[in-house]
Amino acid sequence: MTYDGFPPFISAQLHYLINHFAHPVRVEQAWSGSKYSNTLDRFTLLIPYCLDTIKWDVIYNAEFPHAPPDIIFGPEDEDFHPFYNESGGEGDSRDQYMSYQRKRVGEVDDDRLKFEICTMLSREGIEMHMSSGVEKPEEVKFAVPLMDMNINKMVVGCPWRHPQKISLQVIYPVNRKYVSAPSAPHLKLMSTPALKSLFSVDDVKLPPWLDGMCMAEYLPHLEETLERQVSEAVSLIEVRRRFIEALAPLFGRPIETDSVGIFVYAFFL
């Protein structure tokens, strides 16, 4: 991918970020900071976080392209200072942002949320996000990785370069003290896009959320169901492969199939 309109050094920096960041980052828009030049030197990044995206504006100066850029965070993140952690040392900006959001969520005056956080902290890789604003209600969003399974290793001849994951997005409305019956969270299963060729989470019926339930009770049953369904989907790959191989004596070769056995390319002799 080329970034026409950017100075070469800024273009190289952007190219490296897009192609080497651990998570897929996209450029939403790019523009020039000068009234007298069309040279692009600033852009908006869409950064994956909490199974959603956050927007950060990156501001370079085309006249001094080697100078570090300024970064403008979203309106809800005015207190986020990523360059130094609490101990005074430098830190990774994504880790800093996760810590910042976890601190914000922990300060919410909602007993149920505090309990949920305590019961889920033992899980690795959980992301949290506090959302608030004048025109929308306060809510806390969790991204919970599911299943301790290496799906890539389960698929023979795995075509995927990156680990395939399934996660649960949980959105809690922030409840005030006078609310006697907290509403159920909004739940949504999400997966890495490539996994849909093997197993579509859109077809999974989520277990019901019962009154008084917490995530520590909900997740084990959900994970058990998903593990069984993913294993069944993997086993069907081998069934499809055996069926495709059985076609060769009847129709001749070559017969080709993709790595997960969904598409067949046959050239009959």
pLDDT at site 93: 72
Q: How many CA atoms lie within 13 A of 59 on its CB side?
A: 7
66 & 85 share domain: no
What is the tally of structural domains in the chain? Answer: 2
HSE-up (13 A, CA, CB side) for residue 202: 7
Please classify residue 148 by burial: count the beta carbons closer than 10 Å to its beta carbon, then call 0-12 exposed, 13-18 middle and 19+ buried.
Answer: exposed
Backbone angles phi, psi at 235, to 5 degrees: -65, -30
User: Could you say which DSSP state residue 251 is in?
Assistant: H
32 assigned to some structural domain = yes
Task: Report the distance separating Cα 82 and Cα 58, nearest Å.
Answer: 14
Residue 252 is assigned to a structural domain of this protein: no
Residue 131 is assigned to a structural domain of this protein: no
Asked whether residue 68 is assigned to any structural domain, the reply reads yes
Question: What's the pLDDT tens digit per position in 208-241?
Answer: 999 889 999 999 999 999 999 999 988 887 777 7
What rounded mean pLDDT belongs to the chain? Answer: 83
| Residue 145: per-residue pLDDT | 94
Residues 66, 18 share a domain: yes
Q: Sign (positive/negative) of CA torsion 43, 47, 53, 55?
A: negative
Q: Is 64 part of any domain? A: yes
pLDDT per position as a tens digit, 140-184: 999 999 998 899 988 877 778 888 999 999 999 987 665 556 778
The boundaries of the domain holding residue 7 are 1-72
Domain boundary among the residues 58, 84, 105 is at 105
37 with 90, same domain?
Answer: no
Q: Is residue 67 part of a domain?
A: yes
Q: Are 61 and 4 members of one domain?
A: yes
pTM, 2 dp: 0.80
In-domain check, residue 244: no
